[in-house]
Amino acid sequence: MSTQLSVKPDAHVMSPAPCRILSVARELQDTYTLEIEPPGDDWSFLPGQYTMLYAFGIGEVPISISGDPDDSSKIVQTIRAVGAVTDALVGLQAGDYVGVRGPFGTAWDTTAAEGRDVLIVAGGVGLAPLRPVVYDVLNHRDRYENVTLMYGARSPADLLFASQISEWRGRFDLEVLVTVDHGDDAWRGPVGVVTSLIGRSSFDGDTAVAFVCGPEVMMRFTIQAFERKGITDDRLYVSMERNMKCGVGLCGHCQLGKFFLCKDGPVMTCAQMAGSCWIREV
Q: What is the DSSP string of 70-106?
A: T-TT-EEEEEE--SHHHHHHHT--TT-EEEEEEEES-
Q: How is domain 17-104 classified at the CATH fold level? A: Elongation Factor Tu (Ef-tu); domain 3 (2.40.30)
pLDDT of residue 249: 80
pLDDT of residue 7: 42
pTM: 0.92
pLDDT of residue 252: 85
Report CA dihedral (230, 232, 233, 237) to the nearest 10 degrees: -80
pLDDT of residue 275: 60
- Domain ranges within the chain, ordered by starting residue: 17-104, 110-239
pLDDT of residue 128: 98
Q: Are 37 and 102 in contact (CB under 8 A)?
A: no
CATH number for the domain whose boundaries are 110-239: 3.40.50.80
pLDDT of residue 282: 42
Alpha-carbon distance values, 196 to 12, 121, 180, 225 (Å): 43, 11, 10, 9
Rounded average pLDDT per 10-residue block, the chain, 282 residues = 41 82 97 96 94 96 97 97 96 97 95 98 97 98 98 96 96 97 91 95 96 94 95 95 82 85 91 68 48
